[in-house]
Amino acid sequence: MEINKKVSHPVFGAGDLLSVRKSSAGIQTECLVRFDSGLQLWIPSSRLQGFDDYYKDSTSNEYSGLKGKALKIKAHRMIEAFRLGIVPTQDVSDFTFGREREINMISSALQSLSNGKGGVIVVEGEYGTGKSHLLEYIRSQALKQNFIVSSAELSTEETQPARPKRIYRELIANLRFLSNNQQLTTNNHLEAGFRDLMRNASQKYTAPNYLGIREHIFFAPILSRLTKIDNQSLKSEVFWQWIEAESTKEYAVGSNIKSKSFPSPYRISGGWKIPALYDFSTASDFYCYLISGLAYLSRNLNHNGLVLLLDEIESVAFLWNSFIYERGINFLEGIIRTAQNDPLLKTINKQMLHNQVRPTPYIYKDAYILLVLASTPEPAVTRLKNLSYNNLVLSPLNEENLRACFDTLLYHYKIAHPDFVLPDSTKHRILSNAIRYQDNGIRFFLKYIVESFDTLRINRKLAVN
């Protein structure tokens, strides 16, 4: 609809209001504004001055679909999470404030991936600025929009970048997508994982095109084998642990270095012609090949693509020597260029680092991946940032956003505890103190507010009794 209305934003300035919609990403109404600078963005109405009540969504109550007990259960769930300084996964959209630019970039990237074009976003910010919250927001939105999503937090020990098998194992363990369950009558979507995806694929792995994955040296034999095993057997579990990178080679093939008396329960690799999952740093080509193959498979299963979230990538800077550092950087560069569908990575290039056991291209056919990397400011990560076209630098939330967060939290608290009363003078004092705590990060901000509310509520009950 045409709306002839002038509005203003504290950052982007004045502009023309073009349209209004109910936000798909959260609780508020959003406005499409063409700013005088030429920038055109969807902005939450709460951030705009001059937006008349006439245009506000009459159903702006975020809980209009919930009543009674269900409404109170949701509020209690949120408050319990806030006591730990976190936002529950299913409610992350309701508590995303002051990130209009970031949300617009994320929405654009997801739309591009839906259209078949992947990409890379690097999110940088100090501890406490909300990197993990933003990653959780991306995860939530991607799941709702029919993407397969996975995440891993890098470290110098368990999931170091120089050991790509460990990162692959983490990504497989955390892989999720929304699966329609016909047995449910309402809200009939459940989060499913890697095994569900593979079982779904095995049912459709048939002639003539075999999901476009028949030439893949890893997933093709897996899908072929899945139709021939009993899911309840020990053999099946050994098989799953093998392809999920959980089991050791010694267990899967039955060879024990210390004792030759260990019998092989089921031989996996050689007997089933499935390549080994190489546990050494030069195998970055193979793991990028696996990840891109998984993304390619997801498109042919009618998902929109694969969204990968890698947090704490600055850990690459703390690897113990330059050789290990270079191996880690190589893998991260490889996965970045894979997400960008670099044509040079679709063949075995002798100028690139390849494993010498069974070299593969980094990309299987075409990659349908959105890769999001999160990091604290670290000079060693500059090399990776320079490969990305989309870099986001997170700043702490300003006071306006913190007030909006406070008001929303108070609203939920009153739903959870209807007898709670907060005088204006006390409200201002708690908010002022909480804003000072925000210097330590948004988690401390949330935690301080809820603990203050709890203290007031409990002391009032004790005084009455």
Residues near 176 by Cβ (< 8 Å), separated by ≥ 6?
Answer: 143, 148, 149, 150, 191, 192, 193
51 or 25: whose pLDDT is higher? 51
pLDDT tens by residue, 113-137: 999 999 999 999 887 777 888 898 8
In the prediction, which pLDDT does 174 show?
94
> In the prediction, which pLDDT does 65 show?
46
Local confidence band at 256 (pLDDT 50, 70, 90 cut-offs): very low
User: What is the predicted pLDDT for the residue at 153?
Assistant: 93
pLDDT of residue 333: 95
Identical topology for domains 1-60 and 100-218+275-393: no
Q: For 146-197, write each residue's pLDDT tens digit.
A: 999 999 999 888 888 999 999 999 999 999 999 864 333 334 457 889 999 9
Provide the token pair at 172. Answer: 């497989």
Predicted pLDDT at 170: 94
**Both tokens of residue 63?**
């809980």
Residue 266 has pLDDT above 70, yes or no: no
Percentage of the chain modeled with pLDDT above 90:
35
Please, which residues bridge with residue 219 across strands?
none
> Mean pLDDT for the chain?
81
Helices 284-300, 322-339: axis angle to 10 degrees equals 20
The pLDDT of residue 1 is above 60: no
Q: Pick the closest to residue 416 from 149, 96, 79, 110 (CA basis).
A: 79
* pTM for the predicted model, two decimal places: 0.75
Give residue limits of the domains in the chain: 1-60, 67-98+397-465, 100-218+275-393
- Given this model, what pLDDT does residue 399 score? 84
Q: Who wins on pLDDT, 333 or 464?
A: 333
Statement: residue 70 has pLDDT above 90: no
With 60 as the cut, is the pLDDT of residue 57 above it?
Answer: no
What are the residues whose beta carbons fall under 8 Å from the beta carbon of 221, sequence distance 6 or more?
272, 273, 274
Q: Which one, of 118, 209, 193, 105, lies nearest residue 148 by Cα?
A: 193
Domain 100-218+275-393 bears CATH identifier 3.40.50.300? yes
| pLDDT at residue 439, rounded to an integer | 66
CATH code reported for the domain at 1-60:
2.30.30.390
Instruction: To the nearest 10°, report the CA torsion of 359, 360, 361, 367.
Output: -150
Provide the pLDDT for residue 211.
Answer: 95
